[in-house]
Amino acid sequence: MSLSTLVLKPGEADRLVTGHPWVYGNSVLRLTSPVADGDLVQVKDHRQRLLGTGFYNSRSKIIVRLLDRDRIETNEAFFRSRIAAALAHRRRWMPGATSYRLINAESDFLSGLIVDRYEDVLVVQISSLGMDRKKALITRVLQDLCAPRAILERSDTASRKFEGLADSQGVLAGDPVGAMQVKLNGLTFETDLAEGHKTGLYLDQQANYAAVGELARGANEVLDCFSFLGGFALHAAKAGAKQVHALDQSEDAIAAATRNAVANGVSDRVSFEAANVFDWLKSKTALGPNEKVIPRYDLIVLDPPSFTRTRATVPDALRGYKEIHLRALKLLKPGGLLATFCCSHHVDRVLFEDVVLAAAVDTRHTLRRVASFSQSPDHPVVPAIPETEYLKGFAYELVR
């Protein structure tokens, strides 16, 4: 098969040479022959040195998503080896897990493809035109390698629009699946994989749930802020924390989290409250002139949604992060622990810790860092592709 060649302008090859897979439209010098959107092309620098092969789409700002540094074909053998490698990575780094992200796009050298495994069901999410064309092939290879009960598609990301793709949801193999029980670290979580349902599951915190559970061992009082389905709260209770209170503004999430607490036999130790975390923390810490804040928690978890999707709104996001840290620190007992996470790609580890420290300066507290967290190993970080890293977290002891 002869492939068209896309030649880059001088100076545009460096990022690709270091292993980043995206070619932007404005770095293209020329195409040697016409290419249809979704086709495979080879990419060369202006000296004709091969940089790799990938899917082309003129409608996208990312005009080529490289799949390999060499010349390849996107045939069954290609997908079989990539998917088998992804599976081997999870088996190596999360040997006990039965639910995890099986393929995480760029992290697994399959830009445009995400596959989550929920027990014996796979959920596929495709975000590029080239990958979309390979859906049937990918489905077949997944059936072969994983033998799932069903393969569902939930391709509904905003990025599909930029690739000229409509949303696509449904059953790719097997029978429809609705509500099911998913195991994370031996705890049961209810999730509904059916179309349009709100209670999906964040898999990227699986390793951190276990780690924070350990921090909660022996705690009297734990506060889980932005708890969603109760991931941190339930792990804390299971580890032996005596009283866990969890907050989320979504009534649906609180209802599901409450059912999860019952399913795991910890409902006597966990309480859930539908509340805005900002307002709740404020009500406990902004008191009248003669009132005193009583620090009561041994562990506080902060795992908010990303406060910023763009670089431009980072300053606003930082104010939000500082605010919740400031108030949380006031509610923490001396010797207590703060486990805090940030899933915004635009706020890196250093900037995030700066915000925590700024809050500690304002409350006149001294913090000692006792743990650093990243996303679970099923969301692998490839340092050459900075976009693959987004979740960071720290645990601090409030020394005084």
- Concerning whether 225 is annotated as a catalytic residue, the answer is no
| DSSP state at residue 19 | T
Choices 31-39, 41-49, 68-76, 227-235; region in contact with ligand SAH by CB under 6 A = 227-235
Report in angstroms how near the CB of residue 228 gets to ligand SAH at its nearest: 4
253 binds ligand SAH (CB under 6 A): yes
Report in angstroms how near the CB of residue 251 gets to ligand SAH at its nearest: 9
93 binds ligand SAH (CB under 6 A): no
User: Which residues lie below 8 Å from residue 64, measured CB to CB, with a gap of 6+?
Assistant: 6, 22, 23, 41, 43, 54, 55, 56, 57
Give 131 or 395: the residue with its C-beta nearer to ligand SAH.
395
Burial 44-63 (b: 16+ CB within 10 A, else e): bbeeeeebbbbbbbeebebb
Give 162 or 202: the residue with its C-beta nearer to ligand SAH.
202
Helical H segments across the chain, by residue range: 14-17, 76-93, 129-133, 135-146, 159-162, 206-216, 231-238, 251-263, 277-285, 314-330, 349-363
106 binds ligand SAH (CB under 6 A): no
24 binds ligand SAH (CB under 6 A): no
Report in angstroms how near the CB of residue 55 gets to ligand SAH at its nearest: 31
Give 134 or 235: the residue with its C-beta nearer to ligand SAH.
235
97 binds ligand SAH (CB under 6 A): no
* Residue 230 contacts residue 246 (beta carbons within 8 Å): yes
**DSSP-assigned letters across all residues of 342-388:** E--TTS-HHHHHHHHHHHHHHHT--EEEEEEEE--TTS---TTSGGG
Could you tell me the end-to-end alpha-carbon distance of the chain, in angstroms, rounded to an integer?
68
Q: Considering only residues 288-347, where is the footprint of ligand SAH by CB under 6 A?
A: 303-305
CA 67, CA 254: separation in Å to the nearest integer? 41
Choices 79-87, 92-100, 149-157, 245-253; region in contact with ligand SAH by CB under 6 A = 245-253
- Of 18, 81, 169, 276, which one interacts with ligand SAH (CB under 6 A)? 276
CA 232, CA 250: separation in Å to the nearest integer? 16
Choices 21-29, 226-234, 284-292, 369-377; region in contact with ligand SAH by CB under 6 A = 226-234
- Of 22, 78, 226, 396, which one interacts with ligand SAH (CB under 6 A)? 226
Count of residues binding ligand SAH (CB under 6 A)?
A: 19
207 binds ligand SAH (CB under 6 A): no
Q: What residue ranges bind ligand SAH (CB under 6 A)?
A: 202, 205, 226-229, 231-232, 247-250, 253, 276-278, 303-305
Kindly list the catalytic residues: 343
